Structures are given as C-alpha cells and as structure tokens.
Amino acid sequence: MISLKQPSEPFNIELPYGVSVTVKPLTTAGMAAAQAAARRRIEGLEAQSKELSEAGLTAEGLPDLSVDADRDGMFQDLLIKELALRHITAWSGIEDDPIVNPENIAAVMSLYPVGERFFNEFTLKQVLLTAAKNGSGLSAAGTSSQAEGPATAKGAKKTAAKPAHNVDTP
C-alpha cells in the first residue's frame, strides 16, 4: 500500500547498481526552479549554437537541438540533473565514496538507468498526489457525480417576456 501523504523529512531512494540517495522532499517551488533552470540551459545552448552558426563556425560538441525529440531528451536530462543537484543530500553505494558535489551528482545521474530511475522514484509521490486530487474531477455532463441527484437545483422557469410599454408621462 502507498501513502499519498507528502513527505516532510529527507528520505532514501534505492537506485540501480546498489546506489542509494538521500533527498530533501520535492515541493512545487523545487520542481518549478529545476524546470526553469533546465529551460534556461537549453535556451543558452540554442543561443550558443546560433552565434557559432552566424559567425560561420561549426557547433561541434554542442547537441543538435533542431530536432524536437533530441531537444526533449536534452531537457529531460537537464531536468533530472537539476532535481538531483537541488535535492540529493547524501548517498551510499558509490565506489571510493566520492563527496556529494555538483560534478559527482551529474556524473551519477548520467548513468543509465540511474538518472531515469531517480526521476521516476523522486517524482512518483507528486504524480500520485496530483492524480488523487484530480480523481474526482468534473464529469462530461459538466457537474461532478457527487452533485448530481435529487439535491441538484432545478432549472429556472421559462416565462414569456412581456412586451415593454412606452409610457408617456405628462
């Protein structure tokens, strides 16, 4: 059974290859900040590529972001790394016990399927909470099923409108 209660304390996530990370809980602000940072990095790469192209130079070493699928993949990679950088506080199961710093976090998150599993596990509770909140949404008829039934208000009576009289006052 899973709890939909929002965690308020750091918790551990088990990842492939025997890696375990301790993370601070994900918040709306944390997700928004990570998404904004990843988006800015994509925009920076695009601007850099454009400047090189306009200068007649090749954009060797830069990813080709002109293909939507490649751009989406790069965004996902950067988002995973941003979330990890902002939320991982400790880890275990990594050879030579490296310190938790931005370079090492990025290196661990670059390993497939470690980064992908981290993202899925780290954001799972948020996805489930959102789904639970949206579980009782509006029906196709425009009202929620809880509001339908004998307690639903009756429609307004239709009466013929009386023609307006033009009254002259002396």
Look at 80 and 2; give whichever has higher pLDDT: 80
- Give the tens place of pLDDT for each residue, 116-138: 999 999 998 777 766 766 665 55
Position of tokens 């993949």? 73
Query: What's the pLDDT score for residue 67?
Result: 83
- Give the tens place of pLDDT for each residue, 144-168: 545 555 555 566 666 665 555 555 5
One-character DSSP codes across 100-149: --HHHHHHHHTSTTHHHHHHHHHHHHHHHHHHHHGGG---TTSS-TTT-S
Query: What's the pLDDT score for residue 167?
Result: 55
Among residues 6, 10, 12, 1, the alpha carbon closest in space to that of 118 is found at 12
- Give the tens place of pLDDT for each residue, 75-98: 999 999 999 999 999 999 999 999
Name the E strands within the chain: 11-14, 20-23, 88-92
Query: What's the pLDDT score for residue 61?
Result: 77
Query: What's the pLDDT score for residue 153?
Result: 58
For residue 46, pLDDT beyond 60? yes
User: Are the C-beta atoms of 122 and 80 separated by less than 8 Å?
Assistant: no
